[in-house]
Amino acid sequence: MPQIRGANVLIAGATSTIARHTAARLAERGARLHLVARGEAEAGRIGQDLQVRRGAEVSWGSFEATDYKGHERLLDRATEAMGGLDGLLVAVGMLGDQMRAEAEPGHLRDVIEINYGAPASLITAAANRFEEQGDGWIAALSSVAGDRGRPSNYAYGSAKAGLTAFLEGLRGRLHESGVHVLTAKPGPTDTKMTFGMDDPPPLMAEPERVAGQVAQAIEEEKDVCYAPPIWRYIMAAIRLIPASVFKKLDL
């Protein structure tokens, strides 16, 4: 079972709302943290808050998800800052704009790259290191949106579906190596990503609750975590809708 107390954990995309709250849950459990994000100053503010409020051991730095050549250097810096590397939480993502993605292939490419291509690259680099050392864990934020393609967000959903499939395959590859892989699938959550929506989705969850469930799933070595858990049953029902019917639904 993954040990969080005393573990050295890298959090990529640390300024996302869910990542920030998950960092707090991991710090409460005794993890050392290295926070990285495009906005290094904001990552530093989050880190300083964790130091003051939680007494956590935290370091931080900058991170550009699409700097693929920099992923190995990022792992090196995190290892040096913490004295080792035992866990990786990837919270990199962007919702994007579905209508813009339909009209602008460049925006569609950005949505796919940020939600799938870049996370998969970083995860692969970490997985190889963990496999070599014979332990470690990886947790990544996918989404219930990846369980079925809906007209209203299939650009984002398809990228998350790709990430989900990637993590499932990686889990199979590593299952005998001592490395655990968690796919976290939050439902709609009250975050910066959903702020200001004209038509907010139903069952909007509080990020604190989602973060607690992700941290618990890491500890319990779950393969998949729907957060909140009710989305497991909602999405199971949605997957059972025949394609001939589903394509006619306004979703």
Catalytic residue (choose from 68, 116, 154, 156): 156
Does the annotation count 156 as an active-site position? yes
DSSP letter for each residue of the chain = ----TT-EEEEETTTSHHHHHHHHHHHHTT-EEEEEES-HHHHHHHHHHHHHHH---EEEEE--TT-GGGHHHHHHHHHHHHTS--EEEE-------HHHHHH-HHHHHHHHIIIIIHHHHHHHHHHHHHHHHT-EEEEEE--GGGSS--TTTHHHHHHHHHHHHHHHHHHHHHTTTTEEEEEEEE-SBSSTTTTT-SSPPSSPBPHHHHHHHHHHHHHTT-SEEEESTHHHHHHHHHHTS-HHHHTTS--
Q: Is the torsion defined by CA of 41, 45, 48, 50 positive or negative?
A: negative
CA-based R_g, the chain, Å? 18
Supply 7's token pair.
Answer: 């573990």
The residues assigned a catalytic role are 156
